[in-house]
Amino acid sequence: MISLKQLTYAIAVSKTLHFKKAAEACSVSQSALSTALTEMEKQLGFQVFERDNKKVLITPLGQEVLAKAQTIKLHMDDILKLSESQESPLSYPISIGIIPTIAPYLLPMVLPALSRDYPKLQLHIEEEQSHVLVDMVRRGDIDTAILALPFACEGLLSFEFWQEDFYWVTHHDDSLANKSEIAANELEQSKLMLLKEGHCLKDHALAACKLHSDTQHSLSATSLNTLIQLVAAKLGSTLVPHMALEQLISSNHNLAKAHLNEPGPHRRIAFIVRPNYTALNNIELLKTLFKRELLMLLPEH
């Protein structure tokens, strides 16, 4: 009989394509993992993995096995969470994925309240880009993720808890630096710096300004902090979300900000979960707490 342990080992190898790394992820020795998978393949009558000293490949039949194994593991995880759901709210481990344009700005505002209100909660944070987190939620690798919407996450439930607009940030020497509100048609597009492709914040900023993705920008970066440093060096201007504004510009008195006066909200923040996730009540609790803290800590523009 094939065991859940063997299926778990197989899923770990499929993710890493490396037996040693998979064994470390499963907290077992490499020999124990390899022996378990060899026994599983004997019972199946075919190879799931092709391996040599340099690489691990998944066979076509192995792909089918792994797809079913992932479904079985999801169901087993849901069964285990049923017992957890009978305990006190938010008193057991929860894994949350958060995108990089939210995590460093949201977490300092909500973690103190979480620790105070739910001291037994064990929170595991995974920071990744949106498309990676969507896949992780679908596979059950994490319980939930916090994304900026709109984003393609069909088949998943979303629990929205915040809406916000963008702010234009420029150097004080800019001729428009004295404005408190600015329209997209006032921006010098050739000097507008945005995040690199793959960051949903760039897509949301372009959509808010009604610009196309093929618009030429002078510079791009992989983080909002880098963009702000480029603005401080007078290399251009950028757009940042309300949530990040204070943390990004408060220590640099050479920067000016203006609310982007375009129809909003420019992005919406939400938890996403699988429809059959058994602890939706905990997501509702997190949603309520996060919204409460943001309302208290973020001033109106």
Fold of 166-260: D-Maltodextrin-Binding Protein; domain 2 (3.40.190)
Kindly tell me if the per-residue pLDDT of 176 is higher than 60.
yes
Domains 94-163+267-297 and 166-260 equal at CATH topology level: yes
Amino acid at 36: A
Rounded distance between C-alpha atoms, residue 44 and residue 58, angstroms: 15
User: Which amino acid appears at position 200 of this protein?
Assistant: C
- The model's pTM is 0.76
Domain positions in the chain are 4-84, 94-163+267-297, 166-260
- Give the CATH fold of the 94-163+267-297 domain: D-Maltodextrin-Binding Protein; domain 2 (3.40.190)
Residue 214 pLDDT class (50, 70, 90 cuts):
low
Residue 32 has pLDDT above 60, yes or no: yes
Tokens linked to 231: 């603005």
Which residues, 6+ apart, have CB-to-CB distance to 124 below 8 Å?
93, 94, 95, 96, 142
Cβ neighbours of residue 27 closer than 8 Å, sequence gap 6 or more? none
Can you name the CATH fold of 4-84?
A: Arc Repressor Mutant, subunit A (1.10.10)
Residues 239-257, mean pLDDT to the nearest whole number: 93
Summarised one tens digit per residue, pLDDT across range 178-200 is 999 999 988 877 788 988 877 78
Q: What is the pLDDT of residue 272?
A: 97
pLDDT digits (tens, 9 = 90+) for 92-147: 789 999 999 999 999 999 999 999 999 988 899 999 999 999 999 998 889 999 99
What pLDDT was estimated at residue 140? 85
Query: What tokens were used for 184?
Result: 């997209």
For 122, the token pair is 């064990």
Confidence of residue 166 (pLDDT cuts 50, 70, 90): very high
